[in-house]
Structure 1
Amino acid sequence: MAMTVVVKQAAEHWSYVAPLLTKPTTDEAYQRLVQQLDEVLALAGEDEDHSLALLASRMGDLIEAYDEEQRPIPMAPGSEVLRAVMQERGLGQSDLPEVGAQSVVSEILSGKRRINLRQARALADRFGFSAGVFLEL
């Protein structure tokens, strides 16, 4: 009986949820999904048990799949990848609290500091990339 209620609720709300679970096919749809993922992450925060955590994970998978097919990231230092992502999304140095203070971001972008594993994982979670793209091996 409970399944019927769940299915009924899913059907009633599917038109709102489906776009969040649909792989983007254009850059516009990609940008929209990235923005929506940022909104979901703002609600879920770091709580992996949050009711939206699974949705955020699936959205990240869709974004990553589009990136791999349409927007491959060339091998580049982590600081250059971060700079490109920031430019693409219109972010300033103070818009990355998961990396650290604005001064830390500045040092990374200028090459004075490398992105550490914690920062790479946080950036990967936020932007839907593999943490490896931010690390310099």
Structure 2
Amino acid sequence: MHALVEQATEHWGYLAPLLSMPSCEAEYDTRVEALDEILDLIGDDESHPLASLAGRLGDIIEAYDEENRPLPDVSGTEVLRYLMQEHHISQSDLSEVGAQSVVSAILAGHRKLNWRQICELSERFGISTESFKEPSGKLRTLG
């Protein structure tokens, strides 16, 4: 263990800035850039020696985001509308929600997303079902 402590001491000056919580936007940006570089380097190799550093750095960035950049309270419909715009998806591309008329009714606020639709959308976009919760904190579960 003594050799491990010696190595940590030798390299800590280089790692400490990455592993501490950012105190300002510039430090945050530095950590995001470092994470991007590390992810480019390791690619899909989860056994890469820097994979755990990437995970830890991601946790630090996420904690900063949650504390300093809270997401606004938006409805599940607003989330869906945003995802459609970001992914250049039309109403007819959302077969997991239903027919185009169903999607239209949801986007117009005449219907709510049901649990099955939320789960399908969550899987399609790789986001949590919690993303579709109402500003009140409740998930839409009525159809």
Distance 2:37 2:22 in 1: 17
Q: Percent identity?
A: 43
Distance 1:32 1:4 in 2: 31
Partner of 1:55: 53
Structure with greater helix share of residues: 1
**Superposition misfits of 4+ residues, deviation over 6 angstroms:** none
Distance 2:27 2:129 in 1: 23
Amino acid at match of 1:117: E
Shift of 1:44: 1.3
Distance 2:43 2:62 in 1: 20
User: Gapped runs of 5+ residues in structure 1?
Assistant: 84-104, 121-130
* Matched length: 103
Q: 2:128 aligns with which of 123, 126, 132?
A: 132
Find the structure with the greater CA-based Rg. Answer: 2
Larger RCO, structures 1/2 (Cα 8 Å, 6+ apart): 1
Q: 2:6 aligns with which of 8, 20, 24?
A: 8
Distance 1:81 1:30 in 2: 25
User: Gapped runs of 5+ residues in structure 2?
Assistant: 95-120, 134-143
Q: Is the 8 A contact 1:44 1:52 kept in 2?
A: yes
Within a 5 Å distance, the mapping from 1:2-41 to structure 2 comes to 3-41=1-39
TM-score by length of 1: 0.60
